[in-house]
A = this chain, B = another copy of it.
Amino acid sequence: MSNTVETQSVEALVKQFRELDQKISHINSILGLLSWDKDVMAPKKGRSIFANAIGTLSTENFKLTVSEEMGSLLEELSKPDVNATLDEVTKAIVRERKRDYDKSKSIPAELYNEFVVLTNNAGVAWAEAREKNDFSIYQPFLEKIVAMRKQFAEIVGYEGHPYNALLDDFEPGLTVDTLTPLFAQLREKSIELLNRIQASPHQPRKDIFSREFDVEKQKAFNRFLLPKLGFDMDGGRLDETVHPFAQNVNTGDVRITTRYLKDNVRSAIFGTIHEAGHGMYEQNVNPDFNGTGIVGGTSFGIHESQSRFFENTVGRSREFWNHFYGDLKEHFPAELADVELDEFYRAINAVEPSYIRVEADELTYNLHIMLRFEIEKALMAGEIEVKDLPKVWNEKMEEYLGITPPTDTLGVLQDVHWSFGGLGYFPSYSLGNLYAAQLFYKIKEEMPEFDSVIENGEIPKIKDWMKEKIHQYGKFYTPGELIVRVTGEELNADYLVKYLEEKYSEVYKL
């Protein structure tokens, strides 16, 4: 295949570009599977050896995305007169590849390979540190990760705050300046609402979820529930990991994980619904996009809008449990013998400051995110050091949520994200809540029978709406284009504030 592109017809250029894009996309699909395997299947001793093989393939793929061939093709296909003649799909692929190319071109391949090997090993160290409640095992890896992230930010370049370079990786175009007022509005309202909730005399029962729920029965219930949400079991898997996640291999192979805690039946149920939300997004992308650069969700924030919409807006609604509580009681007749539907509903919507982000309620969750946002911003600005993180973490927990984690395992070591270098990732979760609320008021407008659809257990109808509006497009539209296209307005915090106010007024009789 020739690197000389100038003399070719547009048709020939497109053919060459689409072939190169396909090769990269195929390798990305493979790398997705390898990442899943590492977390779910690989035996202990093989992981660090295999990290080298993953490093080799990542590096090869990285080289393709920043190759001279890719550069020349993108240059030609981005010229306005040429670009205008392209079909819409190719145009979107060019846009996505160009974004990758521009970001990555400046990172030397050896540095990138070093980063891949580092993060693979950091994942192993994180797991051990977490298990042993010993931050010092993880610290040197995290220090290197932060140092390399800073180095990358300087190389790639940014305007304003260095953290902007990272935010843009997860939500194209997002900046500290945009995020700060959205979070400020949400934070102010959340704390005000939290105070009213804590003062309410109508507190939910707290004893329900401190009981033991047999893990095998939990597995049975989750396997019963998953397909009823609209997740296609012939095009996916459900496995177990310490930290649940969703991984797409292609639109016919989407793998989600959950975890079962015998003393916390909620954890697996809402974890499964959450990951199913991610998974259904990936399963319902236009299958023609397989093997192209626009397969998969368009941003982390939009992805989280899907997981959170299904987990919280649908899964924690009164109507959802009007339908499914009977099934749950069938699985746990003894454990739930003395629990009425209304008590169960209010208990799963209980608001209480807690240590673990993934176990947090819908309201305080965003406060966990803001804590991480502040820490990441400060790390990138060099205002704090990695070695001080356990202390900083605990101080901020006290400040935002009024509680202090008794161990680092319940504190700074709880999340996997930093171990794979994912600084800038956390804000996506709260963005997801913001998008989800905005979509919620839109779907209620277009589907007035929304509540009864849930109550009848017809969740796949809601999935179909999301497929039509969001899923099918993959990365064809940018997140900014998509939210305006679907809801008619840009992202704002009004809907989430409204949603939280309405929901908790009902639950807590405020």
Contacts and interface: CB of A to CB of B under 8 A. Distances in A.
A57 B30 contact: yes
Contacts of A160: none
Contacts of A46: 235, 249-254
Interface in A202-261: 232-237, 249-255
A44 B251 CA distance: 11
Main secondary structure of the interface of A (DSSP, over half): helix
A111 interface: no
A43 B291 contact: no
A56 B234 contact: no
25 contacts: A22-B56, A23-B56, A23-B60, A26-B53, A27-B56, A29-B50, A29-B53, A30-B30, A30-B57, A41-B237, A43-B234, A43-B253, A44-B252, A45-B234, A46-B249, A46-B250, A46-B252, A47-B252, A47-B253, A49-B250, A49-B290, A50-B250, A50-B252, A52-B291, A53-B291
Contact of A45 (B29, B42, B252): B252
A57 B287 contact: no
A455 B154 CA distance: 66
A113 to B, nearest CB: 12
Contacts of A60: 23
A43 B251 contact: no
8 tightest CB-CB pairs across the interface, nearest first?
A46-B253, A45-B252, A46-B252, A26-B53, A26-B56, A45-B235, A49-B250, A44-B234
Interface of A: 22-23, 26-27, 29-30, 33-34, 37, 41-50, 52-54, 56-57, 60, 232-237, 249-255, 287, 290-291
A16 B50 CA distance: 22
A253 B49 contact: yes
Nearest to A30: B53
Contacts of A41: 41, 237
A313 to B, nearest CB: 27
Contacts of A30: 30, 34, 53-54, 57
A253 B50 contact: yes
Contacts of A42: 249, 253
Contacts of A232: 45
Given A49-B251, A249-B50, A237 B43 contact: yes
Contacts of A236: 43
Given A23-B60, A46-B253, A50-B253, 8 more contacts: A27-B57, A29-B50, A30-B30, A41-B237, A43-B237, A46-B251, A47-B253, A49-B291
Nearest to A31: B30
A252 B50 CA distance: 9
A27 B291 CA distance: 19
Contacts of A251: 46, 49
B26 A57 contact: yes
A254 B43 CA distance: 8
Contacts of A22: 56
Contacts of A254: 46
Contacts of A252: 43-50
A57 B29 CA distance: 11
Contacts of A33: 34, 37, 50
Contacts of A26: 52-53, 56-57
A25 to B, nearest CB: 8
A60 B27 CA distance: 10
A22 B59 CA distance: 13
A44 B232 CA distance: 10
Contacts of A235: 43-46
A246 B46 CA distance: 15
